[in-house]
C-alpha cells in the first residue's frame, strides 16, 4: 500500500525508505545493543553517526573547508536571536523583508541592536522580491539578512545576491530553513546560513548552521554560552547535548540524498532538477486554470512552497475534504495568507504532484 502524499510545510514528509530504516534500527543500532536515542553523545557509536552526517552534508552542499557546520537546537526562530548575538558586534544589521519569516527575523534582531530595513516586498503583499540593485545597504552594517525561501508567501530567491558587486562588504546571512538541500548554495556569496531541519532534512529539533570561520568568536557578552558559535564549534556541536536522534535521522536523509539520481545528476543537483520539474507541473496547471490562482510573480516563485487559491473560497472546505479522501494531506494554507499551500520538499515524489494536479482538474470539473 502506498502512503498518502503529504504536502505539509513542516514538519514534513520524509522518504519512506528512511523511515523504514529508522524503524529497523530503533531497538538495536548496528549490533550495539542500543537504540540511537539511548546512546551517550560522547560514545564512539554516536560520534561515528555525527561525523558521517557532517561529512555527508559537507559533500552534498559543497561546503568549503573554511566554513563550520554546527548542529544546534532552537529552530529558525532561535537563530533570529543567535545570529545577531554572534555577528552584530554592536553594529547595525540590514534586513531584506520578503515575507513573514524575514519580518520575524528583523523584529527579533531589534532586541539586540539596530535592525534596519534595506528593502521590502510589502507593497506587493510579498508577491515580488525587491531587486538587489534597489537595496539600501549601509556601509556600517555588520551583516545583511535575507530569507532565501519564504515558506508562507511562496517567494524564493532564484539566485543569491552578490553583495560585493553591490558595493557591500558585509557578510550575507540566509535563512534557508525551507529550501536547504533543494538546490546548490553559492558559498562565495554567503557568510552564514541557518535552517530548521523539519522541512527538507528531518525531524524538528535540529537546527543547521553553516558559518564562515572568520565570523565566529565575536559574540556579544550577553550571548548565552550554549548559543555562542565559538563554544559550539570548538566543541564539535557538543558543548551541550545535541539533538542526537534528530542528527541521526538527518544523517539517514543525507545518505538517501546522496543515492538519488536524475539523469546524469546526483545528490542536490538531482534534487534541483526534480524540484524544478515538480514545481513546473503544478504552476503550469494553476496558470492555465480559471478556477485556481497563484498570485506570486513568475520570476520569484518558490519551488518548495506553492500557495494557491480557489477563486471561489466558499469551496475551500469541500476541496480539502476531497483531497484528504484521495490521500492528499495537509494542503490548507497558512492562516495569515489563507487558501491552500502545497509544499513540494525533496521527499515528495513527482507522482504526488501529479496526483494533486489530477485532483485539481477533477475538482474543477465537478464544480463547474
Ligand atoms: N524560517 C523559515 C523560513 C521557516 O519556514 C520557519 C518555520 N516554518 C522558521 C524560520 C521558524 O522555524 P522554527 O519553527 O524551527 O523556529
Please give the Cα distance from 225 to 258 (Å, whole number): 34
Q: Is the CB of 147 under 6 A from ligand 1?
A: yes
Q: Which residue is catalytic, options 101, 135, 228, 278?
A: 101
pTM higher than 0.85, yes or no? Answer: yes
Q: Is the CB of 10 under 6 A from ligand 1?
A: yes
Note if 321 is an active site residue: no
**272 and 253 in a common domain:** no
**139 and 178 in a common domain:** yes
**34 and 92 in a common domain:** yes
Q: Which residue is catalytic, options 56, 68, 94, 199?
A: 199
Phi, psi of 248 (to 5 degrees): -60, -45
The C-alpha cell of 337 is what?
495568507
Ligand 1 center to residue 99 CA distance, Å?
12
**What pLDDT is attached to residue 115?**
98
Ligand 1 center to residue 101 CA distance, Å?
7
Strand partners, 343: 305
**38 and 129 in a common domain:** yes
Please give the Cα distance from 242 to 239 (Å, whole number): 8
- As averages over each run of 10 residues, the pLDDT of the chain (368 residues) reads 92 97 98 98 98 98 98 97 98 98 98 98 97 97 98 98 97 98 98 98 96 98 98 97 98 98 97 98 97 97 98 97 98 96 98 98 93
**252 and 151 in a common domain:** yes
Note if 101 is an active site residue: yes
Q: What is the DSSP letter of 228?
A: -
Taking alpha carbons only, the member of 317, 253, 177, 321 closest to residue 13 is: 253
Domain boundary among 205, 223, 258: 258
Other C-beta atoms closer than 10 Å to the C-beta of 27 total 10
**237 and 91 in a common domain:** yes
**What pLDDT is attached to residue 354?**
98
Q: Is the CB of 243 under 6 A from ligand 1?
A: no
Q: Mind listing the pLDDT tens digit for each residue in 277-323?
A: 999 999 999 999 999 999 999 999 999 999 999 999 999 999 999 99
Whether residue 356 is contained in a domain is answered as yes
**What pLDDT is attached to residue 368?**
73
**350 and 297 in a common domain:** yes
Ligand 1 atom at shortest distance from the alpha carbon of 147: 3
Domain boundary among 258, 276, 297: 258
**What pLDDT is attached to residue 1?**
61
Q: What is the DSSP letter of 164?
A: G
Q: Is the CB of 151 under 6 A from ligand 1?
A: yes
**227 and 246 in a common domain:** yes
**108 and 246 in a common domain:** yes
Domain boundaries, position 186: 17-258
Ligand 1 center to residue 324 CA distance, Å?
25
Amino acid at each position: 500500500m502506498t502512503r498518502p502524499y503529504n504536502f505539509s510545510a513542516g514538519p514534513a514528509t520524509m522518504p519512506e525508505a528512511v523511515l523504514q530504516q529508522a524503524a529497523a534500527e530503533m531497538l538495536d543500532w548496528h549490533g550495539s545493543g542500543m537504540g540511537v536515542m539511548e546512546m551517550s553523545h560522547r560514545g564512539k557509536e554516536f560520534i561515528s553517526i555525527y561525523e558521517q552526517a557532517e561529512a555527508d552534508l559537507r559533500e552534498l552542499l559543497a561546503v568549503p573547508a573554511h566554513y563550520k557546520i554546527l548542529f544546534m537546537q532552537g529552530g529558525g526562530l532561535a537563530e533570529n536571536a543567535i545570529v545577531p548575538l554572534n555577528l552584530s558586534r554592536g553594529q547595525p544589521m540590514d534586513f531584506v523583508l520578503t515575507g513573514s519569516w524575514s519580518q520575524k527575523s528583523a523584529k527579533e534582531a531589534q532586541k539586540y541592536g539596530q535592525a534596519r530595513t534595506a528593502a521590502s516586498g510589502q507593497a506587493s503583499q510579498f508577491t515580488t522580491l525587491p531587486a538587489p540593485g534597489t537595496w539600501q545597504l549601509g556601509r556600517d552594517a555588520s551583516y545583511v539578512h535575507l530569507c532565501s525561501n519564504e515558506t508562507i508567501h511562496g517567494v524564493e530567491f532564484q539566485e543569491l545576491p552578490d553583495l560585493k558587486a553591490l558595493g557591500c562588504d558585509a557578510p550575507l546571512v540566509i535563512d534557508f530553513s525551507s529550501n536547504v538541500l533543494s538546490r546548490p548554495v553559492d558559498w562565495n556569496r554567503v557568510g552564514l546560513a541557518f535552517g530548521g531541519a523539519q522541512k527538507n532534512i528531518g525531524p524538528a529539533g535540529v537546527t543547521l548552521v553553516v558559518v564562515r570561520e572568520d565570523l565566529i568568536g565575536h559574540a556579544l557578552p550577553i550571548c548565552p554560552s550554549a548559543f555562542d558559535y565559538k563554544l559550539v564549534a570548538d566543541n564539535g556541536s557538543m558543548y551541550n547535548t545535541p539533538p542526537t536522534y534528530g542528527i541521526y535521522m538527518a544523517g539517514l536523509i543525507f545518505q538517501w540524498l546522496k543515492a538519488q539520481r536524475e539523469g546524469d545528476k546526483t545528490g542536490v543537483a538531482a534534487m534541483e532538477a526534480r524540484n524544478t520539474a515538480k514545481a513546473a507541473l503544478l504552476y503550469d496547471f494553476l496558470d492555465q486554470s480559471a478556477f485556481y490562482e497563484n498570485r506570486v510573480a513568475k520570476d520569484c516563485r518558490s519551488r518548495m512552497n506553492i500557495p494557491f487559491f480557489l477563486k471561489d473560497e466558499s469551496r475551500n472546505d469541500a476541496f480539502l475534504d476531497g483531497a484528504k479522501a484521495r490521500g492528499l494531506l495537509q494542503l490548507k494554507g497558512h492562516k495569515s495568507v489563507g487558501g491552500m499551500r502545497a509544499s513540494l520538499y525533496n521527499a515528495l515524489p513527482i507522482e504526488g504532484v501529479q496526483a494533486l494536479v489530477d485532483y485539481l482538474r477533477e475538482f474543477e470539473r465537478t464544480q463547474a
